[in-house]
Amino acid sequence: MSEITVRAQHRCHGGQLGFYSHESRETGTTMRFGLFLPPAASLPPALYYLAGLECTEETFLIKSGATRLAAELGLALVAPDTSPRGADIAGEEADWDLGTGAGYYVDATAEPWRRHYRMQSYVARELPALIERHFPVRPDRRGIFGHSMGGHGALVVALLEPERWHSLSAFAPIANPVAVPWGIKAFGAYFGDHPPLWRANDASLLMTGRRYPGRILVDQGLADRFIDSQLRPQALEDAARASGQDLTMRRQEGYDHSYWFIQSFIADHLQWHARDLL
């Protein structure tokens, strides 16, 4: 694993949980990721999880409770960081919802972000190639899911290259970023005044004109304080109806935007992916 630096490795539910770093061609920075390998005799499929604003490669693997069930199901879990770090861009650390920890899984085209903030290409291409080259996972079966900003990223990545992703789900995704403050701020910075790029990275607008060939599961908490102002799940449902997309949207009474919500429904999502990947 000459390309990869091992930061930590732990025995976990009979498998191996590791945290790693490598020099990224796409971002031009050192990128970090977490990986759980189940105690399986054969090559497991890899399920990629994209975390939300302010999170790191550790957040999901520590907080979600996913590793126990992934071990039982025989799924590998891959958790990339949420942005480049240390790119030395002016303003990169100024706001919690832009720059560090807030890469939005897009390929920026506007200055000063375009050189380093290439998270879409990193997640969709570079990281899977690295994982499949260095770890015992299947190269022909991949799933993707995420939360909030990461739910947006998972939906867009899979809609843009559906042949590369064989299962898909999301927790409380930013479903219509061109129409909400988080998305307007991020897209304005990363793409500038270029509406076609905004539309090309909005899951609801993408889904209106195209379908992911498989099923999609989305869970949304009804006590989520961001549901109307930032997430707009109805826009995704409207897009699914327009395109005929197979979308299961579950609204969960009493649940908020936290990892307690994710913990509560992570088993459903892992089993959803397992049915399509195994």
- Which residues participate in catalysis according to the annotation? 148, 224, 257
Q: Taking the alpha carbons of 118, 48, 127, 3 in that order, is the dihedral positive or negative?
A: positive
Find out whether 220 and 248 touch, Cβ atoms under 8 Å.
no
How many whole angstroms separate alpha carbon 32 and alpha carbon 174?
24
Find out whether 185 and 97 touch, Cβ atoms under 8 Å.
yes
DSSP 82: S
76: left (phi over 0), alpha (psi -120 to 50) or beta: beta
DSSP string computed for 19-50 = EEEEE-TTTSSEEEEEEEE-S-SSPPPEEEEE
**HSE toward the beta carbon, residue 75, CA cutoff 13 A:** 28
Give the residue from 122, 127, 120, 119 showing the smallest Cα distance to 101: 119
